[in-house]
Homo-oligomer: A and B are copies of this chain.
């Protein structure tokens, strides 16, 4: 009864109007698994180098995350450095050192095979497919992608997502993937590509859920201060899948309770909002389930009419 999360574990250097951190734990797999761990057991598949700090592995382990699939190989851990604009809506990548991540070949440990949920972070579509093929019994599978794969690996990506139950991308990726500017039209085309459920993230503006006869929109949480938005989208994914896994949701079942699905979108939004409150993963060092549930209730309060 676990969620397998596959993706990058990295070190990030981030500068925002609130400050600058030269090197801190980051990566999609890190953010996703930390967020999901508040809802359901998580197992990760990732690769790091010899420089990976035991304290960082310790943080993941402290959240009960299974690190059997965290390979340590000779070389350095993936490093990304970026700087945000004053309004935080744009970021510029200053440096991307793939390091050991360049040869990442995700292998599912034998002990992971009974896992029920598979969440594929943004990596090469062929690698995503390879993991999916190692875990065919998953109750549901889905993940993220990005403009680079949509543009340059389109056929491979289409072949990959054909087998997914859900796709979770942002609005510009949805437009790029579908070739449609209008998100309603975009969603219709993407749902025809395979996934039965589509979540479109819109950053500070919230998120949308599309699934056959279900359409749900939630506005973003209005934070007092956004310290560092890095990883917010991944935390959304972790919260969303975590909440679905926690209630044993089966995306393949056409008769499932749509309200559970909507609530999972709210939990995704909640986790994304917490992520922005401190630099990197720092907010997750102290976050409690009670705080998560209180923010869920805030979403109720500010959207109810």
Measured CA separation A78–B218 after assembly (Å): 39
The reply to whether B219 and A217 form a contact with Cβ atoms under 8 Å apart is: yes
Residues A222 and B217 in contact, CB atoms below 8 Å apart: yes
A55 to B248, CA, bound (A): 61
Interface centre among A183, A224, A265, A303 (most CB of B within 10 A): A303
Of A26-34, A37-45, A135-143, A201-209, the segment with at least 4 beta carbons within 8 Å of chain B is A201-209
Closest to A207 in B: B219
Q: Does A182 contact B (CB under 8 A)?
A: yes
Name the prevailing secondary structure of the A interface residues: mixed
- Of B185, B215, B224, B225, which contacts A302 at CB under 8 A? B215
* A95 on interface, CB distance cutoff 8 Å: no
Contact B87 A181, beta carbon cutoff 8 Å: yes
Contact between chains at A262 and B206 (CB < 8 Å) = no
State whether the Cβ of A94 lies closer than 8 Å to any Cβ in chain B.
no
Number of A interface residues in the complex (CB < 8 A) = 33
- Give every chain B residue within 8 A of A216 (Cβ-Cβ): 302-303, 305
Chain A window 37-79, contacts with chain B (Cβ cutoff 8 Å), 1 for yes, 0 for no: 0000000000000000000000000000000000000000000
Q: Which residues in B have their C-beta under 8 angstroms from that of A192?
A: none
Q: Does the CB pair A303–B218 fall under 8 Å?
A: yes
Return the contact of A222 from the options B184, B259, B263 (Cβ within 8 A): B184
Partner pick for A224 among B185, B263, B300, CB 8 A cutoff: B185
CA gap between A202 and B219 in the complex, in Å: 11
